[in-house]
Chain A
Amino acid sequence: MNQEIEAGSVGIVQFSDYVFEDELPLDCGRSLKNVVIRYETYGTLAEDAGNAILVEHALTGDAHLAGKYSENDKKTGWWDEMVGPGKPIDTSRFFVVCSNIIGGCSGSTGPRSIDPDTGKRYNMKFPVITIADMVRAQERLMQHLGISQWHCVIGGSMGGMLALQWGVSYPEKVNAIAAIATTARVSPQGISFNWISREAIMNDPNWEKGEYEEQPSRGLATARMLAHVTYLSDESMNNKFGRGLQASDNFDFAFKKDFRIESYLEHQGTKFVERFDANSYLYITRAIDYFGLSDATDGNLAEALKPVHCPFLIVSFSSDWLFPSYQSQELVKALLKNANDVTYCNIQSSYGHDAFLLEMDSLGSLLSSYLSNLPENGADNE
């Protein structure tokens, strides 16, 4: 076997901001002025720009995909294990781009940005955006970077929805799509969790109809705790926490945090409030609810995907109950009907939805194989 290059880090990275000159039209009929997109890139763009890969982040992710901002930075980017020289998404071969979605709160224009018309924060005057709007904004960035076709668009969870939407919105600009732990139409169960999350935020008195100065931290933490449970699985929670108690060997016979799982969720909620904005959470979850590729085709997913001729990699995880495997299988079925080239793997995992960030061995092997066997851009993907 050949000596493989030792997998390394992309090292110290910087983000960039791209400001749109023209307004961005939105699905709701309104448009956004002065849109800013925050993005990071890794690796070198080939002369023919044929080696560009777009990675899409999930609900609460950001543009910081890999590497660190400084030597002393304790945290690496959110998919650092997957992206770097010699890693599955190999930056010695590919030019990798990740951008923060519009509606987000990590550098790109979102509800807490300043409305140029009023000089104040948009807050709830921010237009309701969709996954397709997010992709439309990314397509502007693509032009700005001088890329005419993505070699592959890769995304997990909501990022997978963006990857699929890329195919439908700009079929000629995508050479391949890798959609991981995702769905082509968010189910009523998924919508329910988002609804309850938003109710928690909007019923927090500190939310103040979105005009808060300080975050509605109780509501936002509750929303996160609920969502976090949907990212785990019964088995993974059992394995990690069991019925273990946090402080003493006995119940407190009170309503504070007795169980370790309770402390864990509380910790997750508190941490989240420090890094994520409540209004952004409302807007992005709404965009997720509205995502149903087959809505416009009377539920016929194959019809909706008809313009997309590129090959697909579809990955689900056996214990994911937020976007269960059957939803990926629906997607596979539609793609088979359309005679797309499809590879589908339902990775055995106990980690639930979060597996897409944890099952690095199997997912990494799949992605790396898939990327190394893809046809070059512009090849006939019959």
Chain B
Amino acid sequence: MNKKQEISNIQLQRSDLIIIRKMIPENSRVLDLGCGSGRLLYALKQSKHVKVLGVEREQSKILECAARGIPVIQTSLDGGLADFPDQTFDYVILSRTIQSVMRPDILLQEMLRVGKRGIVSYMNFGHINARIQLVFGNFPVNRNLPLPWYDTPTIRPGTIDDFKKLCHKLGIRIIQEIPLTNEGDFLPRLTCFSSNLFASNSIMVISKENEVIQ
């Protein structure tokens, strides 16, 4: 890892963002939905000359993006992506945001209308810890899902399996899956079956085309 990457990784902090940064090829065009303060896009722009654009709802974060020199559009994802033209991005990123929108199904389709591939970082409510809490009768609150049901932006909680079923229903292919554990370690040996039980978060690359990575 060279120094530039190291710096970007430190700035990213979140393990899923570090992995997403690695996945994006140089000079590609990337749209980040719910880009927050623009850390990932900044890292991509700096280290990989990616042509970036962010979408964010909160004004304070828009100002932070602007301070980083990241172009960003203020809008709510619940309004869809109607302002974005077809097939203008190589990757459309939706990191830990899909469970916070009113209609994740519509947004997934919109992502693949405006971009070739989507990268979804999905928080797994099917994780063993969450299941145990549910067995004892409560909505999961733990290190990975830290907020109580009444105060979480996650209005559409679901499991990795639920996500896959939705993709299947919509004719969307999952062309790559990278499950992450609690510690954020890469779990190459986890199969799709075990990720639903042991991954706290999973990164899934989606596409409408018949292509498979590796």
Residue B46, interface by CB 8 Å: no
Complexed CA–CA distance, A115 and B55 (Å): 53
**Interface residue total, chain A, C-beta cutoff 8 A:** 23
A337 contacts across to B, CB distance below 8 A? 85
- Once the chains bind, are B72 and A332 in contact (CB under 8 Å)? no
Listed stretches B7-15, B62-70, B134-142, B172-180; interface member:
B62-70
CB-CB under 8 A from A336, the residues of chain B are 73, 83-85, 88
Select B66's contact among A332, A333, A341, A370, beta carbons within 8 Å.
A370
Would B63 and A369 count as touching, CB distance under 8 A? yes
Asked whether, in the complex, the Cβ of B66 is within 8 Å of the Cβ of A343, the reply is yes
A333 touches B83 (CB 8 A): yes
B194 CB-CB contact with A under 8 Å: no
Which A residues are within 8 Å of any B CB, using their own CB?
A: 311, 329, 332-333, 336-337, 339, 341-348, 362, 365-366, 369-370, 372-373, 382
How long is the Cα–Cα vector from A369 to B65 in the complex, in angstroms? 9
Q: From residue B193, how far is it (CB to closest CB) to chain A in Å?
A: 41
7 chain-A/chain-B pairs, Cβ below 8 angstroms? A329-B75, A341-B71, A342-B73, A343-B72, A362-B63, A372-B69, A373-B69
Partner of A347, one of B53, B59, B84, B88: B59
> Quick check: is B74 within 8 A (CB to CB) of the other chain?
yes
* Known pairs A369-B67, A369-B69; A329 contacts B59 (CB<8 A): no
Decide: B69 and A342 in contact? CB cutoff 8 A: no
Chain A hits for B65, CB < 8 A: 343
Give complex CA distance A346, B59 in Å.
8
Residues of chain A within 8 A (CB-CB) of B72 are 343-345
Contacting pair B83 A332 (CB below 8 A): yes
* With known contacts A345-B59, A366-B63, A366-B66, A332–B73 Cβ distance under 8 A: yes
- Nearest to B56 among chain A residues (CB) is A345
Chain B contacts for A333, CB-based, 8 A: 82-83
The prevalent SS among residues of B at the interface is: mixed
Please report the C-alpha to C-alpha distance between residue A342 and residue B85 in the assembled complex, in whole angstroms.
Answer: 14
Residues of B within 8 A of A348 (CB): 59
Residue numbers in A under 8 Å from B82 (CB-CB):
333
Separation of A343 and B66 alpha carbons in the complex (Å): 8
Smallest CB-CB A-B distances: 5 pairs: A373-B69, A369-B66, A333-B83, A369-B67, A344-B73
Nearest neighbor of B62 in chain A, beta-carbon distance? A345
Q: What is the bound-complex CA distance between A329 and B79, given in angstroms? A: 12
C-alpha spacing A345/B66, complex, angstroms: 10
Decide if B59 touches A362 in the complex (CB within 8 Å): yes
Chain A residues near B63 (CB-CB < 8 A): 345, 362, 365-366, 369
CB distance from B54 to the nearest CB of A (A): 9
Shortest B20–chain A CB gap in Å is 22
State the CA gap A369–B75 with chains docked (Å).
Answer: 20
Q: Which residues of B contact A344 (CB under 8 A)?
A: 72-75
Chain A residues, CB < 8 A from B75: 329, 344
Check if A343 sits within 8 Å of B73, measured CB to CB: yes
- The docked-state distance in angstroms from the alpha carbon of A372 to that of B70 is 12
Residues on B with beta carbons closer than 8 Å to the beta carbon of A342 = 53, 71, 73
Residues of A within 8 A of B74 (CB): 344-346
A262, B98: Cα distance in complex, Å: 50
Question: B110 to chain A: closest CB distance in Å?
Answer: 14
A185 to B164, alpha carbons, bound, how many Å? 45
Report Cα–Cα, A346/B65, bound state, in Å. 14
Distance in angstroms from B35 CB to nearest chain A CB is 12
Give Cα A365 to B63, complex, Å. 7
Residues in B neighbouring A365, C-beta threshold 8 A: 63, 66-67
Alpha-carbon separation in the docked complex, A369 to B64 (Å): 9
Instruction: Report whether B66 and A339 are in contact in the complex, using a CB–CB cutoff of 8 Å.
Output: no
In the complex, chain B residues whose CB is within 8 Å of the CB of A382: 51
